[in-house]
Amino acid sequence: MPKVKLGAKSPRIDMTPMVDLFTLLLTFFILTATFRPQETAPVDTPFSVSEKPMMDANVMTVLIAKDNRIFFNVDNGPDTILKYRPKILAEMGKRYNIEFTEDELRLFEKTGTAVGVPIQDMKKYLSTKDSDEKIALEKGVPIDSADNQLSYWILFARQINPAINTMIKGDADVDFPVVREVLDILQDKMVNRFNLITNLRAVQITEEQIAE
C-alpha cells in the first residue's frame, strides 16, 4: 500500500459562504437595531413581575429623575415621515409665543432626547453644542400650578398623536408625592391609563403559602 502523503500546504477553507451569511445577518441586525437616544438623567426603574414589553412607537414618556426633576419625551410616531416631535414643539412655541426656526425644529426631531428644560430655554438649549452647558440648562420641565408646562406638553402630544400611549418612568427612590403630582396632571388631561416602566423580576408563591 502506498503511504498517504500529507500535503505540506495548510488546507484552505473556502470562507465565502460564511462571509455571505455573516454579511446578511449583520445587515439585518443593523437595520432592525433601534438606537436609544442618550438618557438625559439616569433613572433606575423599580422591579415588577409584569412581562408586557414596551411599545415601539406612539409613546410619550414622563421621566422622573432621582432629584425630582421631570423630563418629557415623545417619539416621532410609527413612521418617521409623520414628524410628530417638531409639530408638538411648534405648538408649544405657539402657546408660549416663541417662534422656532425650521432648523431648530429639525434638530429637535433628530435628537430623540427627553425635554428637560423650560420652554423659554429651549432655543438656547437647541443652539448650544457644549454638553456641560446643556446639562446646566436642564432644570426639569416646570410642573407647579403657576406655570404647568408638562400639562401643555401632554395636551399637544395627545392632540397631534391621538393614539399615543403614556409611560411613566420613575426612579425607584423618587418620593411618592412627586409621582402623585404627575399622575394628577395626567388625570386632569383625561389620561387614566398609564404604563409604568419597570424591570422584570421573578416571584413564586410556594405550595405551603397557598395551603396554609
Partner 1 sequence: MAHIVQEEKKGSKKRPKKGEAFVDMTPMVDLMSLLITFFMLTAAFSKPKVMEIILPEKIRKDEKVEPPKIADSRTLNIILGPDDKVYWYPGKADPEVTVLQETDFSATGIRQVLLDRNRALFRKIDQFEKDVISGKINIRQDSVRSAISQLKKDDDTGPIVLIKAYKTAKYKNFVDIIDEMSIVGIARYIFTDIDWIEENLVVDALNRAAAAPSGSAQ
Contact set with partner 1 (CB under 8 A): 8-10, 12, 15-16, 18-19, 22-23, 25-26, 29-30, 32-34, 36, 45-55, 64, 167, 170-180, 183, 187-188, 190, 192-200, 203, 205, 209-210, 212
**Minimal distance, residue 139 CB to partner 1, in Å:** 21
Answer left, alpha or beta for residue 83, where phi above 0 means left and psi between -120 and 50 means alpha: left
**Minimal distance, residue 37 CB to partner 1, in Å:** 12
Question: Would you say 144 or 212 has its CB closer to partner 1?
Answer: 212
**Minimal distance, residue 13 CB to partner 1, in Å:** 10
**Minimal distance, residue 136 CB to partner 1, in Å:** 26
Concatenate the DSSP letters of all residues of 77-114 into one string. Answer: -SSGGG-HHHHHHHHHHHHTT-PPPHHHHHHHHH--PP
Question: Would you say 137 or 167 has its CB closer to partner 1?
Answer: 167
Question: Would you say 97 or 145 has its CB closer to partner 1?
Answer: 145
Q: Are 110 and 80 in contact (CB under 8 A)?
A: no
Question: Would you say 140 or 170 has its CB closer to partner 1?
Answer: 170
Question: Would you say 116 or 170 has its CB closer to partner 1?
Answer: 170
**Minimal distance, residue 174 CB to partner 1, in Å:** 4
Q: Are 52 and 165 in contact (CB under 8 A)?
A: no
Q: What crossing angle do the helices spanning 84-95 and 149-160 adopt, rounded to 10°?
A: 130
Cα 63 to Cα 30, 104, 115, 167, distances in angstroms: 28, 23, 10, 8
Taking the CA atoms of residue 21, residue 26, residue 32 and residue 38 in that order, the dihedral angle to the nearest 10 degrees is 170
